[in-house]
Amino acid sequence: MMLERNCREVKVREVRFLGTWDEPSDFVELTLENPGWEAYLPGQFAMLRAKHWGLELPWGRPFSISRVDAESVTFLIQVVGRGTSRLARLRQDEVVIIWGPLGNGFSAPAGTPTLLLAGGMGIAPFRGYIESHPSPEFLHLFFAHRAALDFYPYLVMAEKVRAEAVQEHSTDDLPEIIARIETAMDGYAGGLVLACGPTPFLRTVQAHALKKNIRAELSLEKTMACGVGACLGCVCKDGQGRNVQVCSRGPVFPAADVQI
């Protein structure tokens, strides 16, 4: 079943959950019926809200679109609270309300050496990015993670591009991880660096990009309610100190053009 209605120009649809879970997990790949999307830009996101959620969870939750094919759209979700824990326990064929694709995407210039810096669930948008890139031989994935590697789709991505992963076992590992991120970035001074991950991770990337004048784009995470620029719940400051909505002006910003 697929219902459709319009909310301004954003299409809000109801789609079925196509998967099943073997057992409860805090890291899940959520596959939904394709809501009729013919195209999207990797880096864009969607808002999800299970139809049966009651009034105690009135708002949808934002998630990067991980990959899309003709039948389905996939998200990688880490359970951190009420909404994610319910999404990770959906039963087959349960209905999810979805609106998207929302926001902008990462640049994907052909033939440009491009470093993909992913922190934790920030790996999600890079799966589709790698699959759709015009010249994947120019891509290098650097993945920093805390949970075990098999909670993420790293290996399937590493089959397609040059890739390296580093695990943070404790905060003692951070200086070395930061040094490795900065060294990797230095190799892309004439190319492009794309980053998605937790805010401290993005701050490290932004500081080094500005210091070394490296072209970089950062995908920001903010708490969101509407996802379409209306509620002002996700505002941050741009490079000139003006308020901008992360959902509609981002979530991807040039490193020099946003305050995080």
**Contact assessment for residue 214 and residue 189, using Cβ atoms and an 8 Å cutoff:** yes
* CA distances to 5, 102, 110, 229 from 8, in Å: 10, 13, 34, 11
With CB under 6 A as the contact rule, the residue among 11, 16, 18, 78 that binds ligand FAD is: 78
| 258 is a site residue for ligand FAD (CB under 6 A) | no
Residue with Cβ nearer ligand FES (202 or 246): 246
- Distance in Å, CB of 258 to ligand FES, minimum: 14
| 222 is a site residue for ligand FAD (CB under 6 A) | yes
- Distance in Å, CB of 28 to ligand FAD, minimum: 9
Site for ligand FAD (CB under 6 A): how many residues?
21
The tokens for 216 are 């970089």
Other beta carbons less than 10 A from residue 221's beta carbon: 20
**Contact assessment for residue 68 and residue 41, using Cβ atoms and an 8 Å cutoff:** no
- Distance in Å, CB of 97 to ligand FES, minimum: 15
The tokens for 52 are 């049966």
**Contact assessment for residue 221 and residue 242, using Cβ atoms and an 8 Å cutoff:** no
User: Residue 131, class by beta-carbon neighbours within 10 Å (0-12 exposed, 13-18 middle, 19+ buried)?
Assistant: middle
Site for ligand FES in 231-260 (CB under 6 A): 231-234, 245, 247
With CB under 6 A as the contact rule, the residue among 90, 124, 226, 258 that binds ligand FAD is: 124
What's the chain's Rg over C-alpha atoms?
18
16 Ramachandran zone, left/alpha/beta (phi>0; psi -120 to 50): beta
Residue 77, contacted partner among ligand FAD, ligand FES, none, CB below 5-8 A by kind: ligand FAD
- Per-residue x/- track, 28-67, ligand FAD (CB under 6 A): -----------------x---------------xxxx---
Of 17, 35, 180, 28, nearest in space to 96 by CA: 17
The residue with tokens 């991950």 is 197
With CB under 6 A as the contact rule, the residue among 12, 118, 121, 228 that binds ligand FAD is: 121
| 128 is a site residue for ligand FES (CB under 6 A) | no
Distance CA 203, CA 193 (A): 14
Site for ligand FES in 209-228 (CB under 6 A): 224-227
Q: Which residues bind ligand FAD (CB under 6 A)?
A: 45, 61-64, 75-78, 80-84, 121, 124, 221-224, 251
Q: Which residues bind ligand FES (CB under 6 A)?
A: 224-227, 229-234, 245, 247
